[in-house]
Amino acid sequence: MVQLYNLHPFGSQQVVPCKLEPERFCGGGRDALFVAAGCKVEAFAVAGQELCQPRCAFSTLGRVLCLAYSEAGDYLAAIEEKNKAAFLRVYVNWRSKRTENCRVCIRMVGHKVEAPLSDSFRDQMSIIEMPLSEAPVCISCCPVKGDLLVGCSNKLVLFSLKYQIISEEFSILDFERSLIIHIDNIIPVEISFCVGYVALMSDLEVLIVKLESDPKSGESVNYQPHKTNNSGKQTEGISNETLQLESDDFVICQKPMELLGEKSSQSGISVTLESTGLADKSIKYYHVQHLLYKRFAPDISSLVLADDIKLHSLQLLPIYQTGSPTSDRKKLSQEKELLSLFCFFSLPHVGYLYMVVKSVELMSVYQYPEKSQQAVLTPQFLHVITSNNLQCFTVRCSAAAAREEDPYVDTTLKACPPVSMDVCALRIQLFIGLKAICHFKNHIILLTKADPEAIPERREPPKRPLSRKGTSVKLKTSPVAEAGWNLYIVDTISPVQLYKEMVDYSNTYKTARTQSCIHLLSEAHLLVRAALMDASQLEPAEKAELLEAFKESCGHLGDCYSRLDTQYSHLALPYYKMSGLSMAEVLTRADWPLEDGSQKYERGLIFYINHSLCENLDEELSEELAAKVVQMFHVAEPKQLPHILCSPSMKNINPVTAINYLSKLDTSGFSSILVTLTKAAMALKMGDLDMHRNEMKSHSEMKLVCGFILEPRLLIQQRRGQIVPTELAVHLKDTQPGLLVASVLGLQKNNKIGIEEADSFFKVLCGKDKDTIPQLLVDLWEAQLVAGLPDGLLQELFFKLTSQYIWRLSKMQPPDTTPLRTSEDLSLICGPAFDIASIIPFLEPLSEDTVAGLSVHVLCRTRLKEYEQCIDTLLERCPEAIIPYATHELKEETRTLWWKKLLPELCHRIKCGGEKGQLYLSSLKETLSVVAVELELRDFLNVLPEDGTAAFFLPYLLYCSRKKSLT
């Protein structure tokens, strides 16, 4: 379906001052237009709104049958006819030709130019003769690399563009015949070539293939002659189909066929490669990937085979990688990188546009109201000529390319109109006697002639137009030039100007709230997006104007989707985001009262506001707009009200207004806990502590924790990237710290807040800098330890807690608030799960002169099994603790230390005397009691000191000797 709009894409018009009736013409590059007539080519300069100015003229070998210009290399290729023979020539350095009589250098392709001749080549036009074994029929230049592809009757020849280096300062353009593509069962009438993609077309068939390098193969690709079978058998690859019989009385037509991807290799058309590149060893060798084969059947309903029911206007259109306005892609180099590729071809009444990169897909079908003669495809439009009309259709290339550039473009962050959207005709402009068209930049070149009978046909009609073998490609000779012709340059208006006209036109659909408004605004959006995809050719001011139009178009589309209650209403969100509009600006645009004065808020607007408020945008709505948002959600989605009121953007909401709306909610349908907490927060905000306490007492602490998990922003908000505790969180810190810690722990366990975010929250809440740890944060860590964390986080938690304990002990710094847990709740350093070795380096600032410091050092060394060092330390610094330590630690495999280490040490220190002698003596008695129980009498005697007093040890000896009889 094609929609028709009466817009004005065509602007100024001027006449090309050529002297003879143009037979062939083409344009390209910055400003070049070439017109061939007779044995002469005239070159014109086309720039801006100025008149088309003649630049130069040069003679050709004969009548020009085909012209092609390449921006890469700035050369003109031509097929010329002389004495009924066709020749291929390339014109380079043509800009240096000042007058028609200037000297011209003619050289053979690949001919080595000597350095002494460089000056003459520098300042004069050169013609490169390119001999071929067969007559050339059609040509195509690669728009990216400048390579030249030549079509002959049964093969295509690829000439690679290269430069001969004459000196350090000078090089000349040249070509190398690098590849021959042999084709059977199709005779190309038109070809198109772009970075390895080849499209060829006969009267009713189209074939697209891709030439690919094979890095695994180091051998050249050699041509294997295709064996032909003249016995009339079926062509290989086509089953159950009868080949066309060539007869003067009957024409049997083949069925229409479309084969995509590798299936297109079954078309029966043989494609084989022959590598011919010799000079450049880096030339890659290719294999063929089949992409598309499409065959049409002629309309025979009239019982007469019309000669002009043929395909025309084959074209490959590349779109380059440039970085879209919504992508984060860095700026690319000046070298063009292919992003997407499109192929267009047309029958007289219908045109087809395919996307052929990554996957082959039919994008659009164009139905023409009249019989077409020729068409040209641009990134923005398809221009089609009939006998009396120039038609301008929209295309979907920019929409497809946007998805190639960013596969995630259709999200809540970004969006693009769909490729499947109906195409439309923007304008049907009357021109009498249209005959041919070409396009470059923003210029459309049109040839008109009043007498349609006098215009030469593109080629001689074959007697059997459906036969591959019978197709002729001979060209008629040009008739004598007659009056009544003109060559026009029609400039298309700037994308921004046409965009503004589309927006104005869309206002006629605005009040009706129809899909037509969305469709036209989507066309305007794609027009601007397509222009931005070629931003490298734009001036900074033009690019800035386009970017502004792009944002404006996104705002218009956001308005449309926010007003319509459709399945695509959610697109209001990404389009508003891409527009750069603030939430306040969107709300100001969203005031659309109904005829009865009531207000209805559609899903798109509610979806946008809900998501925007949930994303914690750094924007605070005024009290009036905040009240409007609350009223909207009260009408449209009342269950979202508690969440909406918790957004940082709603900071300025009047708490009385909020409580009034919350009181109207029927809490039976959703969480009453969330409503309670929101009301408690609003009551606190307006200073009503009694109301706040009553709300908080209406549910148990466990349920209140569940409410905070449902809406974390009741406690924690983010503004401008910073964590900000709410007023309710500050109040709970002073009144219910246990509830606050339990709630944050619940948020962590439900993945509503990260560990680092929780740490920052408590530091900000308690007014501490980043290096100071408040007790509430330690309370959270201790709560995490008790609740249990995954093993991966447990060691980090141990480290944080132990570091804090050590810091407090070393600085003699008590907690700033009363800890929520006691020492009986924790067993940290003594616990078996903690890696003591990791904490040893942090014990250095902790002095052993304090009881706490000594205890920590001894406990850590004990966990490292340094028992003897611990015994020495305690005997020296705290002998009163040696027996409790030994009783608790010297067990099982360490039991022998009682008599091997502790007993001798005590005896030695008693003999040395000193003020701690009585403590050592008391400890010795306890030690002897243990040893007497553990050892046999003989072993006990062996461990006793030889110089001891017998009366002192006698009770222990008697107990040891009687121990066996007692048992």
Report the distance separating Cα 112 and Cα 657, nearest Å: 88
Mean pLDDT of 772-787: 89
Task: Find the mean pLDDT for residues 201-222.
Answer: 73
Tell me if 407 sits within 8 A of 421, measured CB to CB. no
Our measurement of the distance from residue 835's CA atom to the centroid of its chain's CA atoms, rounded to an integer in Å, reads: 45
Q: Which two tokens stand for residue 81?
A: 């006819």
In this predicted model, what pLDDT tens digit does every residue of 354-385 receive, in sequence order? 999 888 999 999 999 899 999 999 999 999 99
What's the CA gap between 18 and 15, in Å, rounded? 9
Q: Name the band, by pLDDT with cuts 50, 70 and 90, for residue 460.
A: very low
* Nearby residues of 356 by Cβ (< 8 Å), 6 or more positions away: 197, 208, 291, 292, 316, 341, 342, 343
Mean pLDDT of 901-914: 87
Smallest CA-to-CA distance from 559 within 539, 537, 587 is with 587
For residues 386 and 373, give the distance between their C-alpha atoms in angstroms, rounded to a whole number.
5
Q: List, for residues 42-92, the tens digit of each pLDDT value.
A: 999 987 666 788 888 999 999 999 999 999 999 999 999 999 999 999 999
pLDDT of residue 306: 57
Q: Tens digits of per-residue pLDDT, 305-314?
A: 555 689 999 9
**pLDDT number for residue 336:** 67
pTM: 0.80
State the Cα angle at 333 between 330 and 334, rounded to 5°: 135
| CB of 275 closer than 8 Å to CB of 221 | yes
Q: Are 820 and 733 in contact (CB under 8 A)?
A: no
Query: Is pLDDT above 70 for 574?
Result: yes
d(Cα 317, Cα 381) in Å, to the nearest integer?
A: 12
**In 10 A of CB 205, how many CB atoms?**
23
- On the question of pLDDT at 462 being above 60, the answer is no
Segment 100-116 shows an average pLDDT of 77
pLDDT-based confidence at residue 10 (cuts at 50, 70, 90): very high
Instruction: Render 377-442 in DSSP notation, one character per residue.
Output: E-SSEEEEE-SSEEEEEE--HHHHHHHHH-TT-SSSS-----TTSPPEEEEEEE-TTEEEEEEETT
Per mean pLDDT, which range of 174-183, 245-254, 338-347, 844-853 is the poorest?
245-254
Q: How far apart are CA 182 and CA 226, in angstroms?
A: 9
Whether the per-residue pLDDT at 303 is higher than 80: the answer is no
Q: Which pLDDT band, with edges at 50, 70 and 90, does 331 fall under?
A: very low
Q: Residue 722's pLDDT band (boundaries 50, 70, 90)?
A: confident
Structural contact between residues 517 and 558, judged by C-beta atoms closer than 8 angstroms: no
Expressed in angstroms, the distance from the first to the final Cα of the chain is 108
pLDDT for position 475 = 33
**670 pLDDT more than 60:** no
What's the rounded Cα separation, in Å, for the pair 935 and 553? 95
Q: Which of 555, 549, 561, 552 is nearest to 517 (CA)?
A: 561
Chain-wide mean pLDDT for the chain? 83
Whether pLDDT at 130 is above 90? yes
pLDDT of residue 142: 93
Weakest mean pLDDT among 121-130, 749-758, 835-844, 896-905: 835-844
Q: What are phi and psi of 49, to 5 degrees?
A: -90, 5
Q: Yes or no: say if 110 and 175 are a contact pair by the CB < 8 Å rule.
A: yes
In the chain, the percentage of residues whose pLDDT exceeds 90 is 47
> Residues 403-419: what's their mean pLDDT?
91
Give the range with max mean pLDDT: 594-598, 711-715, 956-960: 711-715
Distance, in Å, from the CA atom of 926 to the CA atom of 21, rounded to the nearest integer, reads 127
Query: What CA–CA distance (Å, rounded) separates 20 from 17?
Result: 9
Q: How confident is the model at residue 453, as a pLDDT?
A: 54
Return all residues near 846 (Cβ < 8 A) that are at least 6 apart: 806, 809, 810, 853, 856, 857
Which of 10, 12, 21 lies closest to 487, judged by CA? 21
pLDDT of residue 597: 52
Has residue 645 got a pLDDT over 70? yes
Lowest mean pLDDT among 29-38, 52-61, 619-628, 842-851: 842-851
pLDDT band at 706 (very low <50, low <70, confident <90, very high): very high
Question: For residue 232, what pLDDT is reported?
Answer: 35
